[in-house]
Amino acid sequence: MADTEKIVISYNQIDDAFIKERDFHIVVGDMIRIINASGTKKYTEQQANAKNFAPYHILTYYADPPLRDPKWKDFIGEFVDATAPIAMCKIIAPSFILFVGYKKRMFAITGGAGSFAIQGFVSQSFGMDILTRLINETTPAIKLIQNRGVIGTVLAQVKQFRKDRRLMDENEFGKIYKEVKADLDKVILTKVFGFKDIDLRRNVSGCLAKSSFKLNIRVDPKGFLAVIRRLNALLNKPPNFIINNVELISKKKSSSIKKLQDALIGTVYNNFCNGEELDFDFCHPEIEKYFNATYYELPQTALSDLTVPPILQILLVDLQKDGILKVGNIEEFKKSVMRINMNSYDEEGHLLTSGSLWEHLHGEISLDGQIYFYIDGDWYRIKPNFIKQLNRELKQFLDEHWDDKLLTTPFDLSKDEGKFNAGFIGTPGMLVFDKIIPDNIEPCDLLKYRPGVINLIHVKKGFNNMIRDLAAQVSIAASRIEHDKNAGYKYINQIESIIKASVTSDSRERQKLGGQEFPPGGLEKLFRDTRTNNTCFCLAFVDTAKSERSLRDNLNAFDSNIAKYSLLTLIKEIVGMGFDFKVIQLNRVKKKSR
């Protein structure tokens, strides 16, 4: 067998919920029709050779590559003749999908953009399902972990280890493990996968488990089919442990999934039409590739060459203005969100990620008294005992860190945070820092001080999932100020300089900021003379619910578990730095009775 016929392969499993006991050829035909109807690339079946691959069923599809100009072509074209090869070059990206049916399961491997085409049909847990049948959570074999945070301030996190780790040392509640790199020892490679010593260059071989499963061992076509057979056998065994502490909602429960999808799209639609904040994360499941992309485009629209990941709310507004997003009713809206595609590319113009707007959507909803998270195309349910534990622990911290005297000015819900903050300009013992961001870090919205005591107050309208973003902002500000106390107060002095320079601004609001009176000796002296434990970070929020309620006294009345968890972890972080922390629930301006 020629060595050129050996390649490293990533294996995908077609989700059982899509197969539904149907014939292999019918299932593949349905997938290809859906793929071709929704994408720009058209996959055509390739004629098979005369070899007999029984008991495996195999179908291969190929998409003619659309030619694209490299991103740098117009720039280079200014320096070379129009007939030069570099001025006429094109990017070619052929794609294929090879389907394998074995017994009652189906698998697939892809090349080029084929992986994007089958995204909606593959089991998102396949790689993890295999890994949890190969090792134990106590096995010291882990090289890298990528997780998604369903709660807290961290959207995603990648950990690379110097030494082999155990999964039991990393497993945290609220984290969904999406990618794990591990080393498999020789016993697993030979006894489980059937490799011979001649196939192995070392006594261990790496594997990558995510929605797909990849072994870093090159195989020929015969070896490829043998691995398919072994993977199928592994899936028939129970896992050695459960890798994620949240409960995955099986796609086989189609009625439950549809109900959840309708609830999520209904929430997005109603919030968007009412001009409310869209409290959802927006990114492709391939997080690192997505956020490291050079530019983004929506092929069916005029939106292209976006150099930063778009914000969902702004994106939907732009699409509505262009007539691409239909909002006449919820069904129109749903079809638009499912149909409109977004791609990301590297600086060479190579496709990094691709998916519909729906596939970029992630978030939390409450349905029938249960909390669900939609992450990377799958639904997860948070177990009730965690909610009880979260409320119990947060209540203890609120009792300790609650303050109802530091800031008593009522908040007018008809106005935004900026208007509220501006109302304190000129107040003795207070400084307004709203939108002052040296080093792209906002220290706080309001600074309230007296000799030896500093309160850095961050103001938020609403106690919802956006508290997660505010918590991240507060944490970054605290880290920067902690560092600044040991680095000559450069950041603190920048704050004062920027504010004072605002007095010459063309904006009346900025001029007012610049005219504020600073404490004797300036901000640096104030911070130098204040002990760390007398420097307090404060999260001040006003509840926007129709009826008034107290976070401290009626925690169960607040629905956003993301907000609760974010606040809890923030308190722990800030106190861990040596600072004090306070939670302030602002009073609301009373409506005048008629």
User: Which of 225-230's residues contact partners 24+ apart within 8 Å by CB, and which partners?
Assistant: 225/53, 225/56, 225/100, 226/193, 226/194, 227/9, 227/11, 227/193, 228/11, 228/56, 228/100, 228/102, 228/107, 229/102, 230/192, 230/193, 230/194
pLDDT of residue 282 exceeding 80, the answer is: yes
Is 222 in the same domain as 305? Answer: no
Single out the residue of 482, 435, 492 nearest to residue 576, CA to CA. Answer: 482
Is 302 in the same domain as 407? Answer: no
CA atoms lying within 13 Å on the CB side of residue 69 = 9
pLDDT of residue 221 exceeding 60, the answer is: yes
Distance of alpha carbon 330 from alpha carbon 20, whole angstroms: 29
- Residue 112: band (very low, low, confident or very high) from pLDDT cuts 50, 70, 90: confident
Q: Is 233 within the bounds of a domain?
A: yes
End-to-end Cα separation, the chain, in angstroms = 89
pLDDT of residue 497 exceeding 90, the answer is: yes
Distance of alpha carbon 308 from alpha carbon 592, whole angstroms: 45
Is 230 in the same domain as 277? Answer: no
How deeply is 316 buried, as exposed, middle or buried, from its count of CB atoms within 10 A (0-12, 13-18, 19+)?
A: buried
- Residue 590: band (very low, low, confident or very high) from pLDDT cuts 50, 70, 90: confident
pLDDT at 252: 64
Distance of alpha carbon 375 from alpha carbon 264, whole angstroms: 12
Q: Is 64 within the bounds of a domain?
A: yes
Q: Is 591 within the bounds of a domain?
A: no
Token digits of residue 77: 């074209």
Is 455 in the same domain as 372? Answer: no
Structural domain boundaries, residue 14: 3-248
Q: Is 175 within the bounds of a domain?
A: yes
Residue ending a domain, choose from 381, 406, 434? 381
Is 394 in the same domain as 427? Answer: yes
Mean of pLDDT values over 52-69: 88
Q: Is 593 within the bounds of a domain?
A: no
pLDDT of residue 418 exceeding 60, the answer is: yes
* Overall domain count for the chain: 3
Is 377 in the same domain as 392? Answer: no
Average pLDDT value over all residues in the chain: 88
pLDDT at 224: 95
Secondary structure class of 342 (helix, strand, coil): strand
pLDDT at 38: 77
Encode pLDDT of 145-182 as tens digits.
887 766 655 666 777 887 788 877 665 556 778 899 99
pLDDT of residue 473 exceeding 90, the answer is: no
Q: Is 474 within the bounds of a domain?
A: yes
Token pair 């001080």 in the structure block, residue: 449
Secondary structure class of 426 (helix, strand, coil): coil
pLDDT at 214: 96
Is 424 in the same domain as 336? Answer: no
pLDDT at 244: 65
Residue ending a domain, choose from 322, 356, 381? 381
* More confident: 143 or 164: 143
Distance of alpha carbon 468 from alpha carbon 277, whole angstroms: 14
pLDDT at 172: 59
- Residue 585: band (very low, low, confident or very high) from pLDDT cuts 50, 70, 90: very high
pLDDT at 362: 83
Residue ending a domain, choose from 363, 381, 399? 381
Is 239 in the same domain as 304? Answer: no
pLDDT at 588: 93
pLDDT at 577: 92
Mean of pLDDT values over 481-493: 91
* More confident: 465 or 275: 275
* More confident: 466 or 550: 550
Is 12 in the same domain as 157? Answer: yes
- Residue 469: band (very low, low, confident or very high) from pLDDT cuts 50, 70, 90: confident
Q: Is 594 within the bounds of a domain?
A: no
Mean of pLDDT values over 507-514: 89
Single out the residue of 304, 294, 392 nearest to residue 352, CA to CA. Answer: 294
Other C-beta atoms closer than 10 Å to the C-beta of 89 total 13
- DSSP letter for each residue of 463-522: SSTTHHHHHHHHHHHHHHHHHHTTTTSHHHHHHHHHHHHGGG-SSHHHHHHHTPPPPTTH
Q: Is 464 within the bounds of a domain?
A: yes
Distance of alpha carbon 195 from alpha carbon 575, whole angstroms: 53
Mean of pLDDT values over 247-253: 70
Encode pLDDT of 33-50 as tens digits.
999 987 667 899 999 888
Is 280 in the same domain as 182? Answer: no
Work out the percent of the chain whose per-residue pLDDT is above 90.
48
CA atoms lying within 13 Å on the CB side of residue 136 = 2
Is 141 in the same domain as 244? Answer: yes
Is 450 in the same domain as 547? Answer: yes
The residues with which 514 forms a beta bridge, in sequence order, are none
Encode pLDDT of 425-460 as tens digits.
999 999 999 888 898 888 999 999 999 999 999 999
pLDDT of residue 302 exceeding 90, the answer is: no
- Residue 1: band (very low, low, confident or very high) from pLDDT cuts 50, 70, 90: very low
Secondary structure class of 265 (helix, strand, coil): helix
Distance of alpha carbon 373 from alpha carbon 264, whole angstroms: 10
Are residues 375 and 150 in contact, defined by beta-carbon separation less than 8 angstroms? yes
